[in-house]
Amino acid sequence: MADNRTEPVVVIGLGRFGSALALELVSRGTEVLGIDHHPKTVQALSGRIPHVITADSTDVEALRQLGVPEFHRAVVAIGTDIQASILTTSLLAELGIADIWAKAISDQHGHILARVGAHHVVAPEHDMGERVAHLLSGRMLDYVEVDQDFAMIKTRPPRDIVGVTLREARLRSKYGVTVVAVKPEAPPPGTPRAFTHATAETTLMYGDIILAVGTIDALERFAASE
């Protein structure tokens, strides 16, 4: 089985999201076939993405001629043209692509993409909006939603758990969250300041930065505590 990090990916739609994704994949050593129906977009990226082609992704014969059925993974990053996004996703499913990712611009769009064959639906604008809202409204330093109602946050420990072990803090029973890693403010001499796995015997101090996981509601309560 091919390594997912290097297995080729076809990215269809090279707007801001698609081009950023394709360029990041290329920088990581992944072979990318970029497809967009705007010649100017393709021309602008031709020196940065080794394989980039102007084509109509809603034409199944064009996809076949480009060898798209040979890819295991594909990303439909088409922006505002919902019809093209849905039809392209449907054609990729018809061609037997095993792992289809598709960008949605609304909940309804996302539901349709899933129904026509997308295995993963992403909503970058919506997700970023939620993330920024969480960061602005509390003490969180970072926020990543990993499932519909489960997330990880980076924050500083509230006062009531400073100076005691995590076992004594009883975070699961009190807040419903688990601290999984700690970046100490003052690590031992000669040790770089970096995240390390938290254990039941870990004692948190003021200035430490922690990673905590739990449901979104629980994390919000935890991050809001003093």
Give the span between the Cα atoms of 162 and 102, in whole angstroms: 44
Q: pLDDT class for 145, splitting at 50, 70, 90? A: confident
Q: pLDDT class for 107, splitting at 50, 70, 90? A: confident
What is the number of structural domains in the chain?
2
Distance set, CA 144 to CA 56, 82, 94, 116, 176 (Å): 35, 27, 33, 28, 17
> Which of 23, 13, 31, 9 shows the shortest CA–CA distance to 76?
13
Are 51 and 33 a contacting pair, CB within 8 Å?
yes
1 lies in a domain? no
Instruction: Give me the domain span that covers residue 149.
Output: 127-224
Q: What is the mean pLDDT of residues 61-73?
A: 96
Judged against a pLDDT cut of 60, whether residue 5 lies above it is answered with no
For residues 95 and 75, state if they share a domain: yes
Q: pLDDT class for 134, splitting at 50, 70, 90? A: low
CATH of residue 158's domain is 3.30.70.1450
For residues 34 and 136, state if they share a domain: no
Range with lowest mean pLDDT among 63-67, 126-130, 150-154: 126-130
In the prediction, which pLDDT does 220 show?
Answer: 86
For residues 72 and 132, state if they share a domain: no
Q: Which of 6-10, 92-96, 103-107, 216-220 is the most confident on average?
A: 92-96
Judged against a pLDDT cut of 60, whether residue 1 lies above it is answered with no
Domain-terminating residue out of 95, 122, 149: 122
84 lies in a domain? yes
Q: pLDDT class for 6, splitting at 50, 70, 90? A: low
Are 16 and 81 a contacting pair, CB within 8 Å?
no
In the prediction, which pLDDT does 2 show?
Answer: 47
Q: What is the mean pLDDT of residues 48-73?
A: 96
Dihedral (C-alpha) 210, 213, 218, 223: value to the nearest 10 degrees? Answer: 20
Judged against a pLDDT cut of 70, whether residue 4 lies above it is answered with no
